[in-house]
Amino acid sequence: MDILNSLFYFIVAIGILVSFHEFGHFWVARKVGVKVLRFSIGFGKVLWLHQSSPESTEYVISAIPLGGYVKMVDEREGEVKPEDLPYAFNRQPLWARTAIVAAGPIFNLILAVFFFWCVFIIGETGMRPVVAAPEPGTLAAQAGFEEGDEILSVNNETTPTWTEAISQVFEQTMTGAKKLEFEVKNNEGFEVERIVLLPEGAIEDTKSFYNKMGLKPWSPTIPPVIGKLLPNGAAAEAGLQSGDILLQADDEKIDDWMQWVNYVQARPGQPIKLLIERDGVRLNVTVTPKEITTKDGRTIGRIGASVKIPEQLIESLRVSYSLDPIQAIPKAFEKTWFYSISTLEMMGKMLIGKASVQNLSGPISIAQYAGESAEMGLVPFLKYLALISVSLGILNLLPIPVLDGGHLLFFAIEAVKGNPVSEKVQIFFQQLGLLMLLSLMMLAMFLDVERLFQ
């Protein structure tokens, strides 16, 4: 079901983003007087076709939903009827051809602005940005962060939730900030400043930067009460139930949930004698944690049970915020601009070896993110759509032949030299560009499969 869920939302996402991208090409082509023969969502076998008259545009949905295309009248692609020659793409002035090609990526960026705008006006519910005690030696520890500090702003940007706080940390760092000025409220209720000085080349990949920064969410002491159970987990097989209170493990008193988690993880495959309380009655239960291998190769124990978090604790940490439609407009543009620049910077760093290729995501990862974000709700899914739309727009603007940016590069050369680049040269570089893209896709697929097995 998870696979089907991810596949469904992946197709929905790609369908929306590709449709809008191709609509950009289509709309501008029609506006500048180019005749469009076919507007297709997807490739391959035609599943649905609509054409109001023999001379009008065919609207098509095809079997492979991983792209689309707009087919225009063009003498380079076949014979054109004499009456259609004035409407051929290749006969249009340079500015018109440039506008048509650039429209697809630009429409993706416009769509990203719209999605971010929706996110801001719908609003989000998140956890207050309260930090845990930072590990010694991390940037947060050096800046004087203490357990319980609540982040109010980062470089004067308000951060109402943990997600916003961490996003601002990454955004400010990616845009070249030399230091991060945090306004925080400490345990005594006073507002103080914490300054993090960023080292050169702070971000190589997101995971290492997160660990180097040392900002992690505060975890309150949670009573050891069983919440949800996995159907085939060790806890369910041992007869544990939701609401059971854990009192002792092998005669050791259990005071909080994290103590219990650490106890279980340290005992893979070893029977644990539990004393629990259920509906006021004390019971003895034996549970044997199943062996799980982590990504870093460690073997830990797991029983397949989550904690039941008290509702009042959740409410004390929960915060909601939103913007009015007018305030949300500049914020949406700022977000789109930031992620556009960040995408380019990350691509550049990967190209020169200053960032890990692990930052690449292939279709499997993108599909997984689609399913996960959709399960989390409308706002996370809209954020996902916005980010993928930015990536699609920026990727297509790269000066690689076969992409829109490659065509724009040829047009730029044409503007300088006064006549089009020869068809032979274009074909050669398009083949080279195709080889580059296929190599990149194969690397992304390899990384996806590697993550899947991990």
Find, among 119, 124, 104, 173, the residue nearest to 336 by Cα: 119
Q: Which CATH number goes with the domain that contains 175?
A: 2.30.42.10
Q: Is 27 in the same domain as 112? A: yes
- Both tokens assigned to 100: 């048509």
Give the ranges where 81-215 is alpha helix by DSSP (H): 94-122, 139-142, 162-174, 206-213
Q: Is 206 in the same domain as 314? A: yes
Give pLDDT tens digits along the chain (454 positions): 577 888 888 888 888 998 999 999 999 999 999 999 999 988 888 899 998 888 889 999 988 877 788 999 998 888 888 888 899 998 899 999 999 999 999 999 999 999 999 999 998 888 889 999 999 989 999 999 999 899 999 988 888 888 888 888 887 887 777 889 999 998 888 999 999 988 876 665 666 778 888 899 987 788 899 999 988 889 999 999 999 999 999 989 999 998 999 999 999 999 999 999 999 999 999 999 999 887 667 889 899 999 888 777 777 778 888 889 999 999 999 889 988 988 887 777 777 666 665 666 667 777 788 888 888 888 889 999 999 999 999 989 988 888 899 889 999 998 998 888 888 888 888 888 888 878 877 877 776 676 666 5
> Is residue 171, in this structure, part of any structural domain at all?
yes
Q: Is 107 in the same domain as 29? A: yes
> Is residue 129, in this structure, part of any structural domain at all?
yes
The pLDDT of residue 10 is 85
Q: Is 129 in the same domain as 187? A: yes
Burial (Cβ within 10 Å: 0-12, 13-18, ≥19) of residue 113:
buried
Neighbours of 393 (CB within 10 A): 27
Q: Is 115 in the same domain as 130? A: no
- Both tokens assigned to 41: 């969502």
> Is residue 369, in this structure, part of any structural domain at all?
no
CA dihedral 377, 380, 381, 382 (to 10 degrees): 120
The pLDDT of residue 375 is 86
The pLDDT of residue 204 is 59
Among 297, 321, 345, which residue terminates a domain?
321
DSSP secondary structure, 239-267, as one string: T--TTPEEEEETTEE--SHHHHHHHHHT-
Neighbours of 30 (CB within 10 A): 16
pTM of the model: 0.74
Ramachandran area for residue 155 (φ above 0: left; ψ -120 to 50: alpha; else beta): left
Q: Is 165 in the same domain as 106? A: no
Rounded CA separation 58/51 (Å): 5
The pLDDT of residue 382 is 93
For residue 392, how far is the Cα from the chain centroid?
Answer: 12
Q: Is 246 in the same domain as 257? A: yes
Close Cβ partners of 323 (under 8 Å, ≥ 6 residues apart) = 120, 121, 123, 331
> Is residue 398, in this structure, part of any structural domain at all?
yes
Planar angle of CA 126, 260, 296, nearest 5 degrees: 75
> Is residue 145, in this structure, part of any structural domain at all?
yes
The pLDDT of residue 370 is 84
Q: Are 268 and 300 in contact (CB under 8 A)?
A: yes
H or E segment to which residue 373 belongs: helix 363-376
Q: Is 281 in the same domain as 397? A: no
Q: Is 238 in the same domain as 274? A: yes
Q: How many residues does the chain have?
A: 454
Among 298, 321, 344, which residue terminates a domain?
321
Q: Is 255 in the same domain as 278? A: yes
Q: Is 151 in the same domain as 211? A: yes
Q: Are 400 and 433 in contact (CB under 8 A)?
A: yes
> Is residue 169, in this structure, part of any structural domain at all?
yes
Helix crossing, 423-453 with 404-417: angle to 10°? 150
Rounded CA separation 288/220 (Å): 27
Rounded CA separation 333/331 (Å): 5
- Both tokens assigned to 318: 């929960």
Rounded CA separation 440/448 (Å): 12
Among 275, 308, 341, which residue terminates a domain?
308
> Is residue 186, in this structure, part of any structural domain at all?
yes
Active-site annotation holder among 22, 124, 164, 171 = 22
What's the one-letter identity of residue 419?
N
* Domain range for 24: 2-33+92-122+383-453
Rounded CA separation 219/313 (Å): 11
Rounded CA separation 15/414 (Å): 34
> Is residue 21, in this structure, part of any structural domain at all?
yes
Known catalytic membership, residue 146: no
Total domains, the chain: 3
Q: Is 132 in the same domain as 211? A: yes
DSSP secondary structure, 100-137, as one string: HHHHHHHHHHHHHHHHHHHHHHH-EEEE--BBPPPPTT
Rounded CA separation 79/178 (Å): 59
